Amino acid sequence: MDTRGGTGELYGSMGISNEVYEYGKIVLEGLKERFEQIDDVAEYNQLKVLRAMQKNQVSEACLLGTTGYGYNDLGRDTLEAVYADVFHAEDALVRPQITCGTHALALALMSNLRPGDELFSPVGKPYDTLEEVIGIRPSRGSLAEYGVTYRQVDLLENGDFDYENIKKSLCSRTRLVTIQRSKGYQTRPTLSVERIGELIAFIKKIKPDVICMVDNCYGEFVEEREPIDAGADMVVGSLIKNPGGGLAPIGGYIVGAKECVENAAYRLTSPGLGREVGASLGILKDFYQGLFLAPTVTASALKGAVFAARLYENLGYQVAPDGSESRHDIIQAVTFGQPEGVINFCRGIQSAAPVDSHVTPQPWDMPGYDAQVIMAAGAFVSGSSIELSADGPVKPPYTVYFQGGLTWQHAKFGILKSLQSLMDAGLIDKEALRKAGHGVKCRKTSK
């Protein structure tokens, strides 16, 4: 019998069983301290963004935008000054003409590498869609087609940097080092800003003139510091992830050394034109307001990630990071060991969406990936992974990657729906929930 009242009763009417609801309550009781830490970082970053907006005198006129060539776009130019200040960079390029995170990364690479140069990754293979940009998997227009070679050194088994082989791999042709902060479709640790700084310092000591670029996707505003603070020359990301705050409908950013950013501007538009053109097309208000909200939206997503980690690790699943580790991006990996786990998790997330909740996700051959991928994303902005979403390749070890949640309350509901979906599919039973909840209570009592 369901004896819940008020909010609990509403959860029940939306498909959450009493067993799942009560288990979620037990897990949440132990997260108060973690949530307070997340809120402290959000407060710091909120003030940092506000200070940058006030310093650059953002005005109502900045929200209007331009059409056509976009000459003398006050709002666009001011926004880029704000981004430069927020990230402590010399310069910034923030444009709706940058279509996604992969495009932003490709733009940064292709504008700062020349034929005969070598691109080097000291953290293993990049995210799947970058493989075709680089030419690891042959693709039309890749860096490899333009005579740029690629080399990588994998992380050690314990997740540490392989400094010995990194030193051996750096050569006279190494022009740019790419460091992916987030794990992508891997279970390796996400890199903290501190660890990124240690790696950059090691590389710069060997080759001071090399460009160190950080793929910052999913990591913005998770910590008080950003990779520029740790010595990065260039930092790249997507506006439909953390810094867009769920409001940016498109766009990407590149911040860093002035020369690197200017190179990207000339590649984005045309030699001779650079950053002087590129109309903002009436979406600047969403860019500004999204950035303003980004620290608190990111905090909501982080709370969801921590909650998901605790909830699933207590049930015996492998999670990365676990519920106690420090956080350096918003992504939570859960390994199920079977395709049904990935599929039903994503279907639960989809059923919790405000948009397209009635749709059933199916694995499909998505461009840029080497296996079928299933994605759950009932979002206001298509593909926005700062909104509640989950995805993963349907291949061993069958790991799903959960991220986002514009509000903590929605993230919580989505995670409970993912668990409910697994229960309804017979992959988890009530006894498993009872034992997991009892184990949590016992650990609290022992303390």
Q: Give, for all 447 residues of the chain, the pLDDT tens digit.
A: 566 778 999 999 999 999 999 999 999 999 999 999 999 999 999 999 999 999 999 999 999 999 999 999 999 999 999 999 999 999 999 999 999 999 999 999 999 999 999 999 999 999 888 999 999 999 999 999 999 999 999 999 999 999 999 999 999 999 999 999 998 777 788 999 999 999 999 999 999 999 999 999 999 999 999 999 999 999 999 999 999 999 999 999 999 999 999 999 999 999 999 999 999 999 999 999 999 999 999 999 999 999 999 999 999 999 999 999 999 999 999 999 999 999 999 999 999 999 999 999 999 998 767 789 999 989 999 999 999 999 999 999 999 999 999 999 999 999 999 999 999 999 999 999 999 887 786 766 555
Which of 54, 50, 77 has the alpha carbon at shortest distance from 64?
Answer: 77
Which of 389, 338, 392, 334 has the alpha carbon at shortest distance from 363?
Answer: 392
Q: Please state, in angstroms and rounded to a whole number, the distance separating the CA atoms of residues 321 and 228.
A: 24
- Report residue 339 as tokens: 């395709």
Order of strands, sheet of 399-403, starting from the edge strand that comes earlier in the sequence = 318-320, 332-335, 399-403, 389-393, 373-376
Complete domains list, the chain, with CATH: 7-30+336-446 (no CATH), 49-292 (3.40.640.10)
- The answer to whether the CB of 213 falls within 8 A of the CB of 178 is yes
Q: Please state, in angstroms and rounded to a whole number, the distance separating the CA atoms of residues 192 and 328.
A: 5
- The answer to whether the CB of 263 falls within 8 A of the CB of 217 is no
- The answer to whether the CB of 224 falls within 8 A of the CB of 45 is yes
Beta carbons within 10 angstroms of residue 32's beta carbon: 8
Q: Compute the mean pLDDT over every residue in the chain, rounded to the nearest whole number.
A: 95
- Report residue 414 as tokens: 């989505």
Q: Please state, in angstroms and rounded to a whole number, the distance separating the CA atoms of residues 421 and 16.
A: 9
Cα-Cα-Cα-Cα dihedral sign, residues 37, 42, 43, 47: positive
Amino acid at the residue 247 = L
For tokens 């970053």, name the residue: 45
10 Å CB burial of residue 36 (0-12, 13-18, 19+) is exposed
Q: What is the pLDDT of residue 447?
A: 53
Q: CA-CA distances (angstroms) from residue 349 to 92, 354, 378, 423? A: 35, 11, 9, 14
Q: What is the pLDDT of residue 171?
A: 97
- Report residue 224 as tokens: 């008080």
